[in-house]
Structure 1
Amino acid sequence: MPAAYPQLQHRPASAEDLHEIVRFPQDADELFFAYPKASWPLTVGQLAAAMAERRGSTVALLDGKVAGFANFYQWQNGEFCALGNMMVAFWARGQGVAQYLIEAMERQAREQYKARLMKVSCFNANAGGLLLYTRLGYQPRTIVERHGPDGRRVALVQMDKPLMD
């Protein structure tokens, strides 16, 4: 565990964690940012279905309590992993959980999938996410049009970062 995050740890997510994780998104917009295909409010069933289709579901623990969640929604051995379902509990925000978890997922991508690239996608309205990913070295590659839950046009900024050994 890096010294910069003495109170943070991570481990594979379990079914027992789902009841806590579904409470992370505070509103429909936050849920859309983390899991666009889900419907508000997030349910254990929706999250369990996502975990079944995805790989590397991981929780970050802040002082032993589940504080963050992420997984890979795409992966190609030796090539890339794409980060998905990135969420941090409201009470844990501003304490380095997102950065810690993203770095843990980058290590997992390198070590388990031999990925040379990590991809992330972030909606234009998620300023906090865009700023965090940019600060962590992610570069915008393209912007694609999507539609929000209300049908309005939104921009999905697709970014990536080379993963060094």
Structure 2
Amino acid sequence: MLHTARLLTAGDPFLAEDLVQTALTKLYISWAAYRRAANPDAYVRRALFNALMDERRRIWRRFERSFAEVPERVSAAADDGDPDLARALGELPPRMRAAIVFRFVHDMDVTDTAEALGCSPGTVKSQTARALDKLRAALGQPRAALITLPQGAHR
């Protein structure tokens, strides 16, 4: 959960820990619904995404950022050690970032991603396509170089 939360927050470890704590609290409160869920992993991913969206709506979140140490310069470190990718992910809106994380990190199909995000499969496809275009532009890579889909796969 923490790895997914770090990706959803574009590498912010403090916010990721808060999201996991919030999601686990909500899962505990609604444990009966979690136990009845057809796909418990999807239920957890949805709880993380909802926690992220709730956190982004908080008014104080727009003005404050917490750091363990005062940074000398702005930097973002992702779990995979690619600060450029973490920065590019951080520039995406939360829904686009979640679509990329669910589709390409968790290798979910369009239908499962749509269920996790609470939207239609068409929205997932368009959000994924736009997010990939923005990532390619931010990373300065040609269209085919960033993420290639398997033969016959749909965005």
TM-score range, shorter chain: 0.3 to 0.5
Name the one with the larger strand percent: 1
Q: What is the TM-score normalised by the length of structure 1?
A: 0.31
Which one has the largest radius of gyration? 2
- Of structures 1 and 2, the one with the larger relative CO (CA 8 A, separation 6+) is 2
